Amino acid sequence: MTDFKKLQNGSDIRGVAIETEGGKPVNLTQNSVVRIGAAFALFAADRANKPASELRIAIGRDSRLSGEQLTVWLADGIASVGANAYDGGLASTPAMFMCCVNELHFDAGIMVTASHLPMERNGMKFFTAIAGGLEKADITAILASAEEAFPIAAQRGQCGTVDVMTPYVNGLKEKILSALGCAKDEKPFSGLKIVVDAGNGAGGFFAERLLEPLGADITGSRFLEPDGRFPNHQPNPENADAMRSICDAVTETGADFGIIFDTDVDRAGAVLPSDGGVIALDRNRLIALMTAILVRQYGPITVVTDSITSTGLTDFINSLGCRHHRFKRGYRNVINEAKRLLALEEAAKNAIFANAIFAMETSGHGALRENYFLDDGAYIIVKLLVALVEARREGKTLNELIANLKEPCESAEARLNVLLDDTADYTAAVLETVKEHFSNLPGFEIVQPNYEGVRVNADETHGNGWFLVRRSLHDPLMPCNIESNSVGGMRLIAAELYNALRAFDKLELDPLKKLM
């Protein structure tokens, strides 16, 4: 029997769908997936306060080899409790939310995806028209329900098909045309060469169904065809090979702009040509550019990010008259914190973090209040493309908007495995020891407030940068992020952090030692 609890990955479901030699056993079995489909249908019916027989649930999938089969099993589970299931085919995760709020008016949507994980993995993301993306507690409840016997409906629900992508793509087109003051038949991207690297995931539509019809030359785009084996590179803006691929595409074609998506298009990165090379818009740069664009639209805003953003990004955001709120890792954490800050502002209880309309994780998950706080990689790219056209109209470049962003001289992440089954107490002791070690150490200052792990600044003599040590959200390890503004500074910071941790024999310190 499947251990349903092990399928939870925060606010998503993740598991093994294809057996591989030497790999983990398959746990997204027919039985488990049918049960998850039924449990979600009952959950959605309860949320919508309507009988399951009146419920319409759309199911989309990315290009993974197991996606089609999992869709069939989910539909079987949904129909078994009397709800109606519609196969949306190849789709993006954002489209599966939008089908609940656009003219399709679905009660709920399921995206079959495991984002950037290896091809044998798969999973599900869930949306409802009322709640939007589900929270961690919702997934826990659905999986608990899936373990129990569920009532089989006297009359099975209907199963059909639906086109979820056309309304979604049309919505993006309307956004672009409206923002640029163009008529429906105009082509605002005429004269622009824009290349897309979809990594054989679900993002090829952006080039073929959006950019090209709006006049862009997409010649030189890469890996637009869906292929769940991912034969060229991992579809992931955080992956070095993937970013190298889109950088090469921009360089080789002389493109004006390059775009890369993850498998299900809820994350994105971009590339701009620069004097003698390219600028990769990922991590801090992408957040900085989005902030520079949004401040022109909204005035001063609060930018909510995850915990590993650079000090230079904070300085840049502040220089625009905005405020940086560095929170926790996890895209749901970042988005929910922005919503919380907005609610406090509206209740007149928080004037400090005003106008928190933008949340972004360094992984490429970005969300805007104007777009339902949906983490939508394609929507983020639309905002950048509109700004690109506007800059060209003014005889300027996007590069100029982030010219004052100070990048670290050195940066690295050391991922320290914890060699225990139960890591909670041990990792808590690690963090407390780090805090004690650096509290009164000359040249170092513990950053406050801090919402995750322990973050410490180092002065110019002791490394000229900062480090953050924290617990992983899902794995038995402790990531350590280190950045320095000086050559050799990272080595000094890593060495002092090693001194603080050397007594912990269940913490693998070799990745940290390699930075010393």
> What is the side-by-side order of every strand in the sheet holding 477-484?
410-417, 477-484, 465-469, 454-458, 444-446
> Residue 294 to residues 181, 233, 287: CA-CA distances in angstroms?
18, 32, 10
Q: Which helix (H) or strand (E) holds 136?
A: helix 136-147
Q: Give the pairing of strands 277-281 and 454-458.
A: unpaired
Instruction: Please tell me which residue in 32, 80, 115, 310 is annotated as part of the active site.
Output: 115
Burial of 105 (0-12, 13-18, 19+ CB in 10 A): exposed
| Residue among 380, 368, 261 at smallest CA distance from 304 | 368
The question of whether 486 is a catalytic residue gets the answer no
Give the three-state DSSP class for 388. helix
* Amino acid at the residue 59: I
Report in angstroms the alpha-carbon separations of 513 from 478, 479, 510: 14, 14, 5
- What is the C-alpha radius of gyration for the chain, rounded to an integer number of angstroms? 23
Strand pairing class (8-9; 12-16):
antiparallel
Is the sign of the CA dihedral 382, 384, 385, 387 positive or negative? positive
Closest CA to 327 of 316, 342, 337, 314: 337
Q: Is-contact 335 367, C-beta < 8 A?
A: yes
* Closest to 473 measured CA to CA, from 354, 299, 324, 308: 308
Active site residues: 115
